[in-house]
Amino acid sequence: MSDERALREEMVAICRRMNSSGINQGTAGNLSVRSGDGFLITPSSLPYDTMTPDDIVEMGFDGTYVGRRPSSEWRFHRDILKERGDMNVVLHCHSVYATTLACHHKTIPSFHYMTGVAGGTTIRCAEYATFGTQALSDNALAALKDRKACLLGQHGQISLGTNMEGALWLAIEVETLSRIYVQALTLGEPPVLSDEEMGRVIDQMKRMSYGLGPEAEGSNDVARPRKA
């Protein structure tokens, strides 16, 4: 099986998991993956449960494509992948609690240490712009500066990853954090962790590859394996 075919099959599987996990509904949301000199992206207006690997669209960074019509949000997929050489996957969804916060243009502060999984002390909310426009792409890029996730004003969320599993994991985590934050707000604005503490948290996450896969041997500096 070719590498591109394997990517296409994984994209279909991840899209279906987006819906089965509850972070996306219907034909909303989209997914792209860096491939060769361009990227692969989900097509426009095609339900994930009927989508096949052959329906995935091949695009170039010049905006040209082969196959079906690409997602209407192809611009921010292209621009993010072009700008962020450290990331290979862009996942966009309309998860309920993240979108709830996005409707109020609320940035998620460091009210919980897990905010650090997005790469900084906050998960920003991008300014609103009409879907599918260059303005939306520009706003998303600004909100994603030094971050791996952001909310989109009155729209949804974007999560990035070096691989598809990582991007899906982060999107689910952003939704979980959003739900906790919405619920915490019913008691009032929660206290936030200091930038100094969040710096320690983020360093610890990087050292332990937190949420990104198995920890490297010796990354946990307390526990020791038993000797046989």
pLDDT of residue 97: 98
pLDDT of residue 12: 97
pLDDT tens sequence across 109-146: 999 999 999 999 999 999 999 999 999 999 999 999 99
Nearest to 33 by CA among 42, 24, 25: 42
Domains for the chain: give ranges and CATH numbers: 3-208 (3.40.225.10)
What does each of the 228 residues of the chain score in pLDDT, given as a tens digit? 579 999 999 999 999 999 999 999 888 899 999 999 999 999 999 999 999 999 999 999 999 999 999 999 999 999 999 999 999 999 999 999 999 999 999 999 999 999 999 999 999 999 999 999 999 999 999 999 999 999 999 999 999 999 999 999 999 999 999 999 999 999 999 999 999 999 999 999 988 877 655 455 555 555 666 776
pLDDT tens sequence across 174-192: 999 999 999 999 999 999 9
Q: What is the pTM of this model?
A: 0.91
Residue 73 annotated as catalytic:
yes
- The residue assigned the tokens 């990354």 is 219
Residue 129 CA to residue 148 CA, distance in Å, equals: 20
pLDDT of residue 147: 98
Catalytic residue among 4, 10, 58, 73: 73
pLDDT of residue 2: 74
Q: How many CB atoms lie within 10 A of CB 175?
A: 22
| DSSP class of 54 | G
